[in-house]
Amino acid sequence: MANANELIDDIGFHLERLGLSRTSGRVIGALMLASDATADAPTLTEQLGVAKSSLSAAVALLERYGLVQRMPGASRRERYRLTEGLFESVFFSKQGELGAFADLAERVLDQGDLAPEAQARVERMRDFYRFLLAEYPRLLERWEESRRS
């Protein structure tokens, strides 16, 4: 089994591929693996080996995206935790990108003058992304049903 730092780095790498900064992804990884699913800024700074300013920027981004929340606490040190439903949020946030691909295909088709083979490829692209957009809400419903059972 990989050690916690390797797993945190792997999580950071994968989330970076989804559009987060590597540090933001590593913050998510550290919170996922924390025994109580929370951590304060000094702990995260030390664990991740990043400057306070880098951590601050990463946490601000995660808060803005609704992926991490500040926890009210008795001490002066703020603690952070993952937002409930984080993984679903990350997955379903890609829905807008699917719509952008469908719109792009539609714009290309509106230009006309495509060779029949090219038109067929662009129509397939448009239809594929429209299909995914239509299925997203049903997929979320099925996920919620499976969680309840």
Token duo for residue 77: 């040190």
Distance CA 57, CA 50 (A): 11
4-84 belongs to CATH 3.10.180.10: no
Domain positions in the chain are: 4-84, 94-148
Contacts of 20 (CB under 8 A, 6+ apart): 28, 61, 62
pTM here?
A: 0.71
The beta strands (E) that lie in 91-133 are given as none
Residues 70-102 have pLDDT tens digits of 887 656 778 999 988 887 777 777 777 888 999
Residues 41-58 have pLDDT tens digits of 999 999 999 999 999 999
| Short-list 19, 124, 129, 115, CA closest to 28 | 19
